A and B are shown apart, each in its own frame.
Chain A
């Protein structure tokens, strides 16, 4: 019997959002730290 594909899209969205937020936040932090000099 074929196993049904699990419904777990929420986890994927959470991971993608967190990765994007971390990367954008770091990019912004680099920008601000340089501007503050």
Chain B
């Protein structure tokens, strides 16, 4: 299937470029004086967070359109985006505490940004469990769409939680209305990393979408073989 091959190529290129971002971050990007090398976790943590949140927005948007149009491609895309989003959320929830330990002195604190990000991850897990628990495709897509829309509503709260609540989590230094407060070389590394994570999101979602499509085709062939297909 062409889509699967394209997805694999994009993913492979993304992983290769990720190695390039690592080299640039480690060798060609200055060390922040107060935080030391731990600050460089930012180049992985924040792009992963951007795509963990964006993936849920795409799940929600696809779900809204699915409920109106009943197009199975939208449901397939939402399913793919949710699985990929959960992978990025897992990276956020592991790299964040690894940064927090040397900088805050603790792995975890129940502050608004961290807790809401954990909710996002749990929503991703719940979304996938829900899909796995419902056999009938129409009901599965409908129920999952409702949960996907709830997940989308959560995302702005995560992003603005640092403004709405007193929180330990740093304020945005790039994604904010004023100009980014990062030196040029750090900003370039960060932007490259965002680009690579974007590529990985596209590659993963393309593959996952193709996987869902192929599974559906295998089920249809199986049903026809058993004589239980629609006549």
Contact = CB atoms under 8 A, between A and B. Distances in A.
Nearest to A13: B37
Given A15-B45, A31-B8, A34-B211, A23 B200 contact: yes
5 contacts: A6-B35, A22-B90, A30-B11, A30-B211, A34-B210
A31 B210 CA distance: 11
Contact of A12 (B37, B215, B218): B37
Interface residues of A, number: 24
Contacts, number: 88
Interface in B105-138: none
B87 to A, nearest CB: 5
Contacts of A12: 37-38, 40-41
Nearest to B25: A16
Interface in A11-26: 11-12, 14-16, 18-20, 22-24, 26
Contacts of A23: 15, 18, 87, 91, 200
Given A15-B99, A16-B44, A8 B36 contact: yes
B81 interface: no
Contacts of B94: 15, 18-19, 22
Contacts of B91: 18-19, 22-23
Q: Is the interface of A mostly helix, strand, loop or mixed?
A: helix
Interface string B81-115: 00010010011001100110110000000000000
Contacts of A1: none
Contact of A19 (B11, B44, B207): B44
Contact of A3 (B34, B84, B90, B102): B34
B4 interface: yes
Among all A-B residue pairs, the 5 with the closest Cβ atoms: A8-B102, A9-B37, A6-B36, A15-B95, A8-B38
B85 to A, nearest CB: 12
